[in-house]
Amino acid sequence: MRKYSVHKIFGPTIQGEGGMTGAVCHFIRLSGCNMWDGRAETRATSQCPFCDTDFLSHTLMTAEQIVEELKTLGLVYWVTISGGEPALQVDQPLVDALHDAGYMVAIETNGTKALKAKLDYVTVSPKLPPEQTVLTTCHSLKLVFPHPNPLITPEAFDYICADTRYLQPLDAEEPTATKTNIERVLKQLYKNPQWRMSLQTHKMLGVE
Protein backbone atom coordinates (compact mmCIF):
# COMPACT_ATOMS: atom_id res chain seq x y z
CA MET A 1 0.00 0.00 0.00
CA ARG A 2 1.44 3.32 -1.05
CA LYS A 3 2.62 5.79 1.55
CA TYR A 4 2.87 9.55 1.05
CA SER A 5 5.49 11.86 2.57
CA VAL A 6 3.34 14.15 4.70
CA HIS A 7 4.90 17.17 6.36
CA LYS A 8 1.77 18.34 8.16
CA ILE A 9 -2.01 18.00 8.27
CA PHE A 10 -3.85 20.90 9.85
CA GLY A 11 -7.12 22.79 9.95
CA PRO A 12 -9.71 24.00 9.88
CA THR A 13 -8.23 27.21 8.58
CA ILE A 14 -8.90 29.85 5.95
CA GLN A 15 -7.45 29.59 2.46
CA GLY A 16 -5.51 32.83 2.12
CA GLU A 17 -4.54 33.10 -1.54
CA GLY A 18 -5.90 33.01 -5.08
CA GLY A 19 -9.32 31.97 -6.26
CA MET A 20 -10.28 30.10 -3.08
CA THR A 21 -9.45 32.96 -0.71
CA GLY A 22 -11.72 32.88 2.31
CA ALA A 23 -12.78 29.24 1.94
CA VAL A 24 -12.66 27.12 5.09
CA CYS A 25 -10.50 24.06 4.50
CA HIS A 26 -8.06 21.56 5.92
CA PHE A 27 -4.54 21.39 4.51
CA ILE A 28 -2.41 18.39 3.66
CA ARG A 29 1.12 19.71 3.23
CA LEU A 30 3.32 17.17 1.48
CA SER A 31 7.09 17.10 1.76
CA GLY A 32 9.46 17.36 -1.19
CA CYS A 33 9.78 19.87 -4.00
CA ASN A 34 11.52 20.14 -7.36
CA MET A 35 12.27 23.85 -6.87
CA TRP A 36 14.03 23.76 -3.48
CA ASP A 37 15.22 21.10 -1.03
CA GLY A 38 13.66 22.94 1.92
CA ARG A 39 16.88 23.76 3.77
CA ALA A 40 17.26 27.36 4.92
CA GLU A 41 20.90 27.50 3.83
CA THR A 42 20.01 26.73 0.20
CA ARG A 43 16.90 28.88 -0.18
CA ALA A 44 18.64 31.95 -1.64
CA THR A 45 20.23 29.93 -4.47
CA SER A 46 17.15 27.81 -5.21
CA GLN A 47 14.64 28.25 -8.03
CA CYS A 48 12.16 29.53 -5.45
CA PRO A 49 14.15 31.95 -3.23
CA PHE A 50 11.00 33.63 -1.88
CA CYS A 51 9.44 30.41 -0.55
CA ASP A 52 8.40 30.78 3.10
CA THR A 53 6.85 27.33 3.57
CA ASP A 54 8.37 24.73 5.87
CA PHE A 55 8.01 21.33 4.16
CA LEU A 56 11.32 19.60 4.91
CA SER A 57 10.39 16.99 7.52
CA HIS A 58 7.87 14.25 6.85
CA THR A 59 5.96 11.24 8.09
CA LEU A 60 5.07 8.37 5.76
CA MET A 61 1.29 7.85 5.76
CA THR A 62 -1.18 5.81 3.73
CA ALA A 63 -4.26 7.42 2.23
CA GLU A 64 -6.36 5.78 4.94
CA GLN A 65 -4.13 7.22 7.68
CA ILE A 66 -4.37 10.67 6.12
CA VAL A 67 -8.17 10.45 6.09
CA GLU A 68 -8.26 9.27 9.70
CA GLU A 69 -6.14 12.24 10.82
CA LEU A 70 -8.36 14.63 8.87
CA LYS A 71 -11.42 13.21 10.63
CA THR A 72 -9.99 14.26 14.00
CA LEU A 73 -10.07 17.87 12.75
CA GLY A 74 -13.78 17.82 11.91
CA LEU A 75 -15.52 17.68 8.56
CA VAL A 76 -15.27 20.72 6.30
CA TYR A 77 -16.08 21.01 2.61
CA TRP A 78 -12.57 21.41 1.18
CA VAL A 79 -9.16 19.82 1.61
CA THR A 80 -6.24 21.60 -0.05
CA ILE A 81 -3.11 19.62 -0.90
CA SER A 82 0.03 21.76 -1.01
CA GLY A 83 3.74 21.34 -0.48
CA GLY A 84 6.52 21.54 -1.42
CA GLU A 85 5.30 20.34 -4.79
CA PRO A 86 2.29 18.06 -4.29
CA ALA A 87 2.15 16.88 -7.92
CA LEU A 88 5.23 14.77 -7.18
CA GLN A 89 3.04 12.51 -5.01
CA VAL A 90 -0.68 13.09 -5.50
CA ASP A 91 -2.42 10.26 -7.33
CA GLN A 92 -5.97 9.08 -7.93
CA PRO A 93 -6.10 6.63 -4.97
CA LEU A 94 -5.36 9.47 -2.54
CA VAL A 95 -7.95 11.76 -4.14
CA ASP A 96 -10.49 8.93 -4.23
CA ALA A 97 -9.98 8.31 -0.50
CA LEU A 98 -10.57 11.99 0.23
CA HIS A 99 -13.67 12.07 -1.97
CA ASP A 100 -15.02 8.96 -0.27
CA ALA A 101 -14.58 10.71 3.08
CA GLY A 102 -16.76 13.59 1.88
CA TYR A 103 -14.18 16.19 0.86
CA MET A 104 -13.75 18.30 -2.24
CA VAL A 105 -10.05 18.33 -3.14
CA ALA A 106 -7.94 21.29 -4.26
CA ILE A 107 -4.26 21.37 -5.17
CA GLU A 108 -1.65 24.12 -5.33
CA THR A 109 1.08 23.25 -7.84
CA ASN A 110 3.92 24.96 -9.67
CA GLY A 111 2.69 23.39 -12.91
CA THR A 112 5.93 21.64 -13.88
CA LYS A 113 4.52 18.13 -13.42
CA ALA A 114 1.47 16.56 -15.04
CA LEU A 115 -1.31 15.81 -12.58
CA LYS A 116 -2.02 12.12 -12.00
CA ALA A 117 -5.47 12.62 -10.51
CA LYS A 118 -8.76 14.35 -11.24
CA LEU A 119 -9.08 17.20 -8.76
CA ASP A 120 -11.94 19.58 -7.99
CA TYR A 121 -9.87 22.78 -8.02
CA VAL A 122 -6.41 23.37 -9.46
CA THR A 123 -4.27 26.41 -8.72
CA VAL A 124 -1.14 26.77 -10.83
CA SER A 125 1.55 29.09 -9.50
CA PRO A 126 4.43 28.99 -12.00
CA LYS A 127 7.96 29.07 -10.66
CA LEU A 128 9.71 28.39 -13.98
CA PRO A 129 9.36 29.91 -17.49
CA PRO A 130 6.53 28.80 -19.81
CA GLU A 131 8.55 26.15 -21.65
CA GLN A 132 8.98 24.31 -18.32
CA THR A 133 5.38 24.73 -17.18
CA VAL A 134 3.42 21.76 -18.51
CA LEU A 135 -0.02 22.40 -17.04
CA THR A 136 -1.97 24.55 -19.49
CA THR A 137 -5.44 24.40 -17.91
CA CYS A 138 -6.42 25.32 -14.36
CA HIS A 139 -9.06 27.02 -12.30
CA SER A 140 -6.70 29.70 -10.95
CA LEU A 141 -3.40 30.97 -12.30
CA LYS A 142 -1.40 32.77 -9.60
CA LEU A 143 1.90 34.57 -10.23
CA VAL A 144 4.19 36.02 -7.61
CA PHE A 145 5.08 39.52 -8.85
CA PRO A 146 7.64 40.85 -9.43
CA HIS A 147 9.15 37.42 -9.90
CA PRO A 148 12.92 37.02 -9.35
CA ASN A 149 13.09 35.29 -12.74
CA PRO A 150 12.52 38.02 -15.40
CA LEU A 151 11.09 35.41 -17.79
CA ILE A 152 8.11 34.89 -15.49
CA THR A 153 5.71 37.69 -16.37
CA PRO A 154 1.91 37.87 -16.73
CA GLU A 155 2.19 38.09 -20.52
CA ALA A 156 4.37 34.97 -20.70
CA PHE A 157 1.49 32.83 -19.43
CA ASP A 158 -1.26 34.10 -21.71
CA TYR A 159 -1.39 30.61 -23.24
CA ILE A 160 -2.68 29.05 -20.02
CA CYS A 161 -6.45 28.56 -19.92
CA ALA A 162 -7.54 29.70 -16.44
CA ASP A 163 -10.91 30.70 -15.02
CA THR A 164 -9.22 33.46 -13.00
CA ARG A 165 -5.75 35.04 -12.94
CA TYR A 166 -4.07 36.54 -9.91
CA LEU A 167 -0.95 38.58 -9.26
CA GLN A 168 0.40 38.23 -5.75
CA PRO A 169 2.89 40.83 -4.50
CA LEU A 170 6.24 39.33 -3.59
CA ASP A 171 6.64 39.37 0.19
CA ALA A 172 10.07 40.94 0.50
CA GLU A 173 10.18 40.35 4.29
CA GLU A 174 10.79 44.07 4.69
CA PRO A 175 7.78 46.42 4.91
CA THR A 176 9.01 49.16 2.57
CA ALA A 177 10.05 46.73 -0.16
CA THR A 178 6.80 44.77 0.19
CA LYS A 179 4.81 48.00 -0.14
CA THR A 180 6.73 48.79 -3.32
CA ASN A 181 5.87 45.36 -4.70
CA ILE A 182 2.18 45.94 -3.96
CA GLU A 183 2.36 49.22 -5.88
CA ARG A 184 4.02 47.43 -8.80
CA VAL A 185 1.23 44.85 -8.85
CA LEU A 186 -1.36 47.62 -8.92
CA LYS A 187 0.32 49.18 -11.96
CA GLN A 188 0.30 45.80 -13.69
CA LEU A 189 -3.39 45.33 -12.93
CA TYR A 190 -4.27 48.65 -14.52
CA LYS A 191 -2.39 47.52 -17.65
CA ASN A 192 -3.79 43.98 -17.54
CA PRO A 193 -7.31 44.18 -16.06
CA GLN A 194 -7.97 40.51 -16.77
CA TRP A 195 -5.74 39.82 -13.75
CA ARG A 196 -6.79 40.29 -10.11
CA MET A 197 -4.93 41.02 -6.88
CA SER A 198 -4.15 38.17 -4.49
CA LEU A 199 -2.91 39.05 -1.02
CA GLN A 200 -1.72 36.59 1.62
CA THR A 201 -4.78 37.18 3.76
CA HIS A 202 -4.00 34.24 6.06
CA LYS A 203 -0.99 36.20 7.31
CA MET A 204 -3.18 39.25 7.92
CA LEU A 205 -5.62 37.08 9.86
CA GLY A 206 -2.85 35.40 11.83
CA VAL A 207 -3.77 31.87 10.75
CA GLU A 208 -1.61 29.22 9.11
User: Which residues are known catalytic residues?
Assistant: 27, 33, 48, 51-53, 108, 202
Judge contact between 35 and 85, C-beta under 8 A.
yes
Alpha-carbon span 41 to 112, nearest angstrom: 24
Dihedral (C-alpha) 122, 126, 130, 136: value to the nearest 10 degrees?
A: 0
Q: Which residues are bridge partners to 195 per DSSP? A: 165
Could you give the CA distance from residue 22 to residue 16 in angstroms, rounded to a whole number? Answer: 6
CB 154, CB 167: distance < 8 Å: yes
